[in-house]
């Protein structure tokens, strides 16, 4: 495989690791399935987790502000969709984040199930007022653990029955 094709493939892994619900945990599976190098795939998926973990806690207050301003405009339906999503996140994440704080956020982000992950975890931390100095490390640790949790079966090291 030429260097350009390898780089394009790893760029795909990185971009997929930024997609909500897909994130690094499934980007790694995609990269392995496509035959990309394991170290390169791991690095790109991890960089995606790192970027999301650093950017989302800083951007969510702005997104919230914009959505609240859009509520009574022609884009109000889009804002309502966002606000309903926020309410679903509040209900789903409450047992983890409110009760367990930092550790709960790590677990919530690490569990590779739909509706969990860095995107949702960062929104949950924002909703429950977790400090950014705690949120960012919890998102990074949880996101990397999620990659590890999906990596092990992807490599055939653990058979899930």
Residue ranges covered by each domain of the chain = 3-154
pLDDT digits (tens), the chain, 161 positions:
555 555 688 999 999 999 988 899 999 999 998 989 999 999 999 999 999 999 999 998 898 889 888 888 988 898 899 888 888 887 888 877 777 889 999 999 999 888 899 999 999 999 888 999 999 999 999 999 999 999 988 887 655 54
pLDDT of residue 49: 96
Single out the residue of 117, 112, 105 nearest to residue 150, CA to CA. Answer: 112
pTM reported for the whole predicted model: 0.84
Alpha-carbon distance of 88 to 91, in angstroms, equals 5
């Amino acid at each position: 495989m030429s260097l350009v094709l390898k780089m394009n493939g790893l760029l795909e892994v990185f971009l997929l690791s930024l997609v909500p619900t897909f994130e690094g945990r499934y980007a790694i599976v995609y990269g392995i399935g496509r035959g990309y190098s394991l170290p390169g795939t791991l690095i790109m998926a991890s960089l995606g987790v790192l970027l999301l973990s650093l950017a989302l806690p800083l951007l969510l207050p702005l997104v919230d502000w914009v959505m609240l301003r859009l509520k009574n405009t022609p884009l109000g339906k889009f804002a309502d969709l966002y606000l309903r999503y926020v309410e679903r996140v509040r209900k789903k994440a409450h047992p983890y984040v409110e009760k367990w704080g930092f550790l709960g956020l790590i677990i919530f982000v690490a569990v590779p199930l739909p509706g969990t992950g860095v995107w949702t975890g960062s929104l949950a931390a924002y909703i429950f007022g977790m400090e950014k100095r705690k949120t960012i490390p919890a998102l990074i640790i949880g996101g990397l653990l999620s990659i590890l949790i999906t990596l092990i079966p992807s490599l055939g090291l653990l058979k899930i029955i």
